[in-house]
Amino acid sequence: MSASLAVAGLPEIAVLGTGGTIAGTATGDPSLPGYTAGVLGIGELLHKIPSLSQWTRIHAEQVANIDSKDMDGALWSRLAGRVAHWLEQPQVVGCVVTHGTDTLEETAYFLHLVHRSDKPVVLTAAMRPATALDADGPQNLLDALRVAADPQARGLGAVCVLHGRIHAARDVAKISTHAVDAFGSSEHGALGELIGPRVRLWRRPDAEPGAPFAVPAASQWPRVDIVLSHAGADGSVVRALLADPDPPALRGLVVAGTGGGTVHARLDAALQQAKAQGVRVEVASRVGPLRGDAFDGLSAVKLRVRMQLELAAVQQPNAPPLV
Ligand code: SIN
């Protein structure tokens, strides 16, 4: 479904809704927790923002309406296709995606790695449901639209705009389960900020080795799992994954290691067995971004996204990109 709130001659922005708390409603007291994510449509979220039609023309499309804990590769393929479709329209200057906060950083990094346009993709979310007295969604959505329309955002790829700050897809992570200011950009810091309607950029994101990647077809996402190293980690999870009779077969494992990427000796033995069976194994840290390795700065969840795209490219080396 796509709808246009049209005023001719203004910068055009595509706004794609996928759900999350930003589209969530609470049934009881709106100041209390207890709500359902992904209820309101993208048109309803846009109508909460005053004066939009005075400075932009919006193309609104509902791609999904889910709690982002349930995000998966098939929906990522569809979302990337719709983003590419809108960015190919000459009159569209950028794309905004509304999303849940829980997997926002994974979707952002995926869209960044497959991005083929000079125009920006700006993801935003909210910590409070749309029906809360002090909902943060409308301001975040307005800020995301301002960034998408700003010429400085050209060439940024996919970024996240939350609580007045602009975060790089590679660096952004949810760091609080409850604060309104719930996102950070590790030691690198945010890319910039919004001061009222003004966008200030302090730095630009680093280039991503190997990007842009092709978008896997919905049914062609390689299976990659994440295992955690911890006291007593004995590798039984890895052995169970290797023995799992249900296709698709395991293609890769990302280990969220301890400290600087160390792994319990017994888990390591099982990982060696996985490698011997052709499973690709890479190590991140459960503490935060690892320094100085090939995947500098990638959390386990983002390393998983990158590995899936790399494995999909090996799987179908001559497949044309879907976007
Ligand atoms: C979700 O990720 O969809 C629910 C939580 C949120 O958006 O804050």
Mutate to test the pocket of ligand 1, among 102, 136, 178 (most ligand atoms within 8 A of CB): 102
Indicate whether 113 and 71 sit together in one domain.
yes
The pLDDT of residue 247 is 82
Give me ligand 1 centre to Cα 51, in Å: 27
Indicate whether 229 and 309 sit together in one domain.
yes
DSSP 219: T
Structure tokens at 253: 């494992």
Q: Is the pLDDT of residue 194 over 90?
A: yes
Asked whether residue 158 is domain-assigned, the answer is yes
Asked whether residue 179 is domain-assigned, the answer is yes
Is residue 4 very low, low, confident or very high in pLDDT (cuts 50, 70, 90)? low
Query: According to the 3-state scheme, what is the secondary structure of 59-103?
Result: EEEEEEEECHHHCCHHHHHHHHHHHHHHHHCCCEEEEEEECCCCC
- Kindly report, residue by residue over 104-147, the tens digit of the pLDDT: 999 999 999 999 999 999 999 999 999 999 999 999 999 999 99
Atom of ligand 1 nearest to the CA of 66: 3
Asked whether residue 260 is domain-assigned, the answer is yes
How many domains are there within the chain? 2
Indicate whether 147 and 275 sit together in one domain.
no
Asked whether residue 255 is domain-assigned, the answer is yes
Indicate whether 26 and 151 sit together in one domain.
yes
Place of tokens 């400075």: 55
Mutate to test the pocket of ligand 1, among 35, 98, 101 (most ligand atoms within 8 A of CB): 101
Q: CA-to-CA distance for 251 and 279, rounded, in angstroms?
A: 5
What CATH number is attached to the domain comprising 279? 3.40.50.40
Is residue 246 very low, low, confident or very high in pLDDT (cuts 50, 70, 90)? confident
Residue type for 236, please? S
What CATH number is attached to the domain comprising 181? 3.40.50.1170
Asked whether residue 323 is domain-assigned, the answer is no
Indicate whether 174 and 234 sit together in one domain.
no
Indicate whether 171 and 269 sit together in one domain.
no
> Half-sphere exposure (CA, 13 Å, Cβ side) for 276?
8
Asked whether residue 211 is domain-assigned, the answer is no
Q: Ligand 1 pocket: which residues have CB below 6 Å?
A: 19-21, 37, 67-69, 100-102, 125, 127
Q: With b meaning 16 or more CB within 10 Å and e meaning fewer, what string describes 25-38? A: bbeeebeeeebebb
Indicate whether 12 and 46 sit together in one domain.
yes
Asked whether residue 104 is domain-assigned, the answer is yes
Atom of ligand 1 nearest to the CA of 127: 8
Mutate to test the pocket of ligand 1, among 18, 22, 66, 67 (most ligand atoms within 8 A of CB): 67
Indicate whether 138 and 231 sit together in one domain.
no
Indicate whether 190 and 228 sit together in one domain.
no
* Nearest residue by C-alpha to atom 1 in ligand 1: 100
Q: Structural domain of residue 61, as residue ranges?
A: 2-201
Indicate whether 180 and 35 sit together in one domain.
yes
Indicate whether 151 and 36 sit together in one domain.
yes
- Kindly report, residue by residue over 35-87, the tens digit of the pLDDT: 899 999 999 999 999 999 999 999 999 999 999 999 999 999 999 999 999 99
Asked whether residue 175 is domain-assigned, the answer is yes
Average pLDDT over residues 167-177: 97
Indicate whether 17 and 159 sit together in one domain.
yes
pTM of the model: 0.94
Give me ligand 1 centre to Cα 286, in Å: 22
Give me ligand 1 centre to Cα 20, in Å: 4
Structure tokens at 225: 């799992």
Q: What backbone phi and psi angles, to 5 degrees, belong to 217?
A: -60, 155
